[in-house]
Chains A and B, each alone.
Chain A
């Protein structure tokens, strides 16, 4: 890793994909009332965020937190110019999502076989076949699909994950028709070393402007990993307001990187995001009060107390 790196110019703009209401809340223990979820999304909608992942059309048996998926979709006040993608693990979920008004969906693959089996009870190839149905239906309905690849920098069961495996899954999702592939460091073990190695492999198969990074901050590495990703041409970053969502694989540890902290770094670099940091912090403060928990965002912690 001490060799010269081929780096592209830093992007002038970065699109933030806010996953707090879905990925964040899904990993919170307390079941959040529907009105609270709607209010959170509405507050985020006026902060300048271009994409807000609203909910997930998985079976409430598996993910009780997302049982109110239809009410949330129908209850939010959609801002013009803002996208509200929802997760759809299969055709049934997709149909329910469209019926509830979804105009963008997301599917979730894994770069680790074991993780795929333990998480969604099938192999990686089987999951891709399942998604094929969703892709076909989405194409017919003119609904864009975002693809997620989890465990891109490590797996809680398999440990190390080969960059070529990540590239293979990313390429499959992209070839199937996903407009963007979000590469997730699911357990936050990645460092600038493994991030750049993985991105080099993936960007040989998928154009870099169709890639996003979804970094977890479990080991404190998220912002450093995001910086390296930007230096390699990535211009889409997933994050979660207040750093909502712990890590189910390291109890008590943090999960998603906090949107506030990402925005603070990007703005400090002169990169445009369109996001109003103080409105974002207001949304974070609201959801933390509702959840009766402290924020995971260091920017929020510091700003309240200067």
Chain B
């Protein structure tokens, strides 16, 4: 785990900073969240969840994933989900597409935005998608080029941005290299993921400093996991550095596959509470997100991971 020295982090705080006036939330609950839940969720429930989220003001809702159902049974109903949801105007419904086959299936099912998933860690890449980082980039290049022809925007993800379950420490320069590659290939936005949630404001700062030399801040997003409780201060740090897109999952859906029983995604409700408390606009109605969270937690027979939802449910 990389520790920034206090003096390096002070570079940020001494010179002062502005917060963005608006932050775009990318809701990943229906895909990243449900993908990491043990229970297979019925298609009707997934569709209802997405429809509820569509009414909250969220601008982006990651709907499903066109990976092989052999690998990710939770996402086997990708076509039915994409066809079954009621698309709200002005809301994007990106889907994951790991390869050209997945991309073509996604488009056939009505997808109008896709995402590709790279890694800053070679070992993670090999274990997760069975190929090296370079090989994965070639695969994504096919997807991106085809997407360009069809004017379908592509979002790029970089996982293990602040640490890897296998390799441990990840060099910020490696994260920057992968982010740059995805950006130059044509991804409009790069989401930097703290996959195992080990990052802190120190490592977040160092990593972003490096990545921002290669990719402009307004094309970056942060995807923080709350496994070590660090997600909100990490997001705050990213905002202070000019990032204004934040990924999160309603009810904090999705555990951490590398620390069984631990939490994974940061809760959308908790992120919204912080942003609104800072006077930052998101366009999202927190109460409606809490409702959507209640719905999916009931359906999954599990408690919410959102502290805001927990507190709101039981106040005086």
Closest to A294 in B: B261
Contact indicator B306/A249 (Cβ below 8 Å): no
- The residue in chain A whose Cβ has the minimal distance to the Cβ of B275 is A191
Contact in complex: A298, B229 (CB < 8 Å): yes
A227–B236 CB distance below 8 A: yes
Stretch at the interface among B3-11, B74-82, B171-179, B213-221: B3-11
Which residues of A lie under 8 Å from residue B273 when comparing CB positions?
A: 191, 219-221
Given contacts A2-B21, A7-B13, A221-B273, contact A306 B258 (CB under 8 A): yes
Given the interface pairs A191-B273, A223-B233, the reply to whether A270 lies near B202 with Cβ below 8 Å is: yes
Surface stretch bound by B, among A73-81, A165-173, A253-261 = A253-261
B262 to A, closest residue via Cβ: A302
By a CB distance below 8 angstroms, the chain B residues around A12 are 6
Whether the Cβ atoms of B263 and A298 lie closer than 8 Å is yes
B195 to chain A, nearest CB (A): 13
Asked whether B13 lies within 8 Å of A1 as measured between CB atoms, the reply is no
Tell yes or no: A299 within 8 A of B by CB: yes
In the complex, A299 Cα to B231 Cα: how many Å?
12
| B13 CB, nearest partner CB in chain A, Å | 4
* B200 pairs with A193, CB closer than 8 A: no
Confirm or deny: A109 has a beta carbon within 8 angstroms of a beta carbon on chain B.
no
The one of B9, B16, B229, B279 that contacts A261, using a Cβ cutoff of 8 Å: B229
Do the beta carbons of B278 and A191 come within 8 Å of each other? yes
- A2-B18, A193-B277 are contacts. A224–B236 as well, Cβ < 8 Å? yes
Chain B, 206-247, contact with A by CB distance < 8 Å: what is the 0/1 string?
000000000000000000001111101101110000000000
Choose one: B228, B262, B270, B316; the contact of A220 (CB below 8 Å). B270
Q: Is A217's CB within 8 Å of the partner chain B?
A: yes
Nearest CB on A from B21, distance (A): 5
Q: Which residue of B lies closest to A251 (CB)?
A: B314
Contacts of B261 in A (CB 8 A): 301, 305
Interface contact B316-A156, CB-CB below 8 Å: yes
- State which of A1, A5, A253, A298 has its C-beta within 8 Å of the C-beta of B279: A1
**A88–chain B nearest beta-carbon distance, Å:** 29
Q: Give A62 Cβ to nearest chain B Cβ, in Å.
A: 20
Bound complex: CA of A303 vs CA of B236, how far in Å? 24
Alpha-carbon distance A3/B232, docked complex (angstroms) = 20
Most buried by B among A8, A9, A10, A265: A10
Check: A267 CB closer than 8 A to any chain B CB: yes
- Residues of chain A with a CB closer than 8 A to B203's CB: 268
Contact between chains at A253 and B310 (CB < 8 Å):
yes
Complex: how many Å from CA A253 to CA B313?
Answer: 9
Chain A: CB-nearest residue to B308: A219
Q: Which residues of B contact A252 (CB under 8 A)?
A: 310, 313-314
Please tell me if the beta carbons of B228 and A247 are within 8 angstroms of each other in the complex.
no
Question: Which of chain B's residues have a CB closer than 8 A to the CB of A258?
Answer: 229
Instruction: Please pick, from A1, A219, A254, A302, the residue contacting B19 in the complex, using a CB distance under 8 A.
Output: A1
- Bound-state CA distance A268–B307 (Å) is 23
Taking CB atoms, residues of chain A closer than 8 Å to B258 are 306
A298 and B227 contacting across the interface, CB-CB below 8 Å: yes
For residue A232, which residue of chain B has the nearest CB?
Answer: B13
Are B229 and A270 closer than 8 Å at their CB atoms?
A: no
Q: Convert A195-238 into 0s and 1s, putting 1 for each residue whose CB lies closer than 8 angstroms to a CB of B.
A: 00000000000000000000001111101101110010000000
| CB nearest to B263 among chain A residues | A298
With A265-B201, A302-B227 already in contact, the answer to whether A193 and B279 are too (CB < 8 A) is: yes
On chain B, the residues within 8 Å of A231 by CB distance are: 13
B227: which A residues are within 8 A, CB to CB?
298, 302
Quick one: which of A1-59 are within 8 Å of B by CB? Answer: 1-12
Given A3-B18, A220-B270, residue A10 in contact with residue B6 (CB < 8 A): yes
Answer yes or no: A194 CB below 8 A from chain B CBs.
yes
Q: How long is the Cα–Cα vector from A302 to B10 in the complex, in angstroms?
A: 29
Q: Give A217 to B306 CA distance when docked, in angstroms.
A: 11
B202 touches A269 (CB 8 A): yes
**Contacts A2-B21, A265-B230 given; does A254 touch B16 at CB 8 Å:** no
Asked if B53 CB lies within 8 Å of chain A CBs, one says no
Q: A192 on the interface (CB 8 Å rule)?
A: yes
A264 interfacial contact with B, CB 8 Å: yes
Interface centre among B19, B21, B306 (most CB of A within 10 A): B19
B91 at the interface (CB under 8 A from A): no
Q: Are A302 and B256 in contact (CB under 8 A)?
A: yes
In the complex formed, the residue of A with least CB distance to B21 is: A2
Please encode chain B, from 12 to 53, with 1 for each CB lying within 8 Å of some chain A CB and 0 for all others. Answer: 011011111100000000000000000000000000000000
Residues of B participating in the A interface, judged by any CB pair closer than 8 Å: 1, 3-6, 8-10, 13-14, 16-21, 165, 197, 199-203, 226-230, 232-233, 235-237, 256, 258-263, 267, 270, 273-274, 276-280, 306-308, 310-311, 313-316
Residues of A within 8 A of B (CB): 1-12, 156, 188, 190-194, 217-221, 223-224, 226-228, 231, 247, 249-254, 258, 261, 264-265, 267-271, 297-299, 301-303, 305-306
- Add 12 more A-B contacts to A10-B9, A219-B308 (CB < 8 A): A4-B17, A7-B13, A156-B315, A191-B274, A220-B232, A221-B232, A227-B233, A231-B13, A261-B230, A267-B3, A268-B4, A269-B9
5 cross-chain CB contacts under 8 A:
A219-B308, A261-B230, A265-B230, A269-B3, A270-B3
